[in-house]
């Protein structure tokens, strides 16, 4: 795939600019700055995160990474109908001017009644060390069809810059 040399080159730029960053920070920056919607699925055009990755690489956004999410992807969540799942994201601000982020859920399809928290539009504040914690809760109601439910958690900072965290929930 021609994506490999492009991603490797982008990672090299990040290492050059942020020499103290390790693998986790590099991956978070690559995933968090990707643009979704510009990559489509060969199956139905939907472009779900598990088919297309985080989206199209945006080297221009890598020059101004504002925050990092650990983990950079919400994955491995499996549930049966009637179950509640939780997953914790640790956010680290890179730019000092960020005080908070606004949460926006962008599902890639119908969620079939699943409830995602924190609520869409809620605010998460950073502490004095530049860290914030987001407790993601997924409520899977009884009767939810089996399948994969995917999308993106957008974190919009005070400067209106969006960091993206793809998510994947499997109902079995």
Q: What is the pLDDT of residue 42?
A: 46
pTM tops 0.85: yes
Average of per-residue pLDDT across 18-46 = 78
Q: How far apart are the C-alpha atoms of 123 and 130, rounded to whole Å?
A: 15
On whether the CB atoms of residues 8 and 2 are closer than 8 A, the answer is no
Exposure string (b/e) for 101-120, b if CB count within 10 Å is 16 or more? bbbebeebeebeebebbbee
Model confidence pLDDT, tens digit, residues 65-95: 999 999 999 988 999 999 999 999 999 999 9
Note the pLDDT of residue 120: 95
- The encoded tokens of residue 93 equal 């601000």
> pLDDT per residue over 36-70, tens digit each?
765 554 455 555 565 556 778 889 999 889 999 99
- By DSSP bridging, strand 100-107 and strand 123-125 are antiparallel
């Amino acid at each position: 795939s021609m994506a490999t040399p492009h991603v490797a080159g982008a990672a090299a730029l990040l290492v050059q600019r942020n020499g103290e960053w390790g693998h986790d920070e590099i991956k978070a920056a690559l995933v968090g700055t990707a643009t979704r919607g510009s990559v489509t699925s060969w199956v139905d055009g939907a472009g779900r995160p598990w088919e297309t990755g985080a989206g199209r690489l945006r080297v221009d956004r890598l020059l101004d990474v504002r925050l990092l999410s650990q983990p950079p992807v919400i994955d491995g969540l499996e549930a049966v109908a009637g179950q509640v799942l939780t997953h914790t994201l640790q956010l680290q601000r890179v730019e000092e001017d960020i005080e908070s982020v606004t949460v926006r859920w962008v599902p890639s399809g119908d969620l079939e009644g699943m409830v995602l928290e924190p609520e869409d539009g809620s605010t998460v504040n950073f502490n004095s060390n530049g860290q914030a914690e987001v407790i993601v809760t997924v409520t899977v109601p009884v009767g939810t069809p089996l399948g994969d439910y995917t999308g993106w958690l957008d974190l919009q900072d005070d400067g209106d810059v969006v960091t993206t965290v793809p998510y994947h929930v499997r109902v079995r």
